[in-house]
Amino acid sequence: QVQLVESGGGLVQPGGSLRLSCAVSGSIFGINAMGWYRQAPGDQRELVADVSSGATTTYADSVKGRFTISRDNAKNTVYLQMNSLKPEDTAGYYCNVRVRSLFGENAYWGQGTQVTVSS
């Protein structure tokens, strides 16, 4: 069984920083792409950042220059460093991991961690 555990969310003032972590455990064949999505109440879940198995990164325009995604393959963990946080970054943040199976891949979601940016 595959399990994703997220951590690092919290309350921070505008301009502050947070670092999110998502650790993958369980019976896995391998991991392809890993990413972070966010969803505010009443809003649609949207891509924040993604990193491929080859370390190619993708960012939403709204976070470019402020957020950095990285992965530690030895720990099966993906990180999201968030700097210069703005109130509009407030949302639940969800880790998404594409786990490789024998014949393809399956996507798994973390439980979500709340990020609130407020003064």
Q: Are 35 and 50 in contact (CB under 8 A)?
A: yes
pLDDT digits (tens, 9 = 90+) for 54-91: 999 999 999 999 999 999 999 999 999 999 999 999 99
**pLDDT exceeds cutoff 90 at 103:** no
Q: What are phi and psi of 16, to 5 degrees?
A: -80, -175
pLDDT at 101 over 90: no
pLDDT of res. 43: 95
More confident: 1 or 93: 93
Reported as a single tens digit per residue, the pLDDT across 18-41 is: 999 999 998 888 999 999 999 999
pLDDT for the residue numbered 27: 83
> In b/e form, how buried is each residue of 101-119, taking b as 16+ CB within 10 angstroms?
eeeeeeebebebbebebee
d(CA 71, CA 34): 8
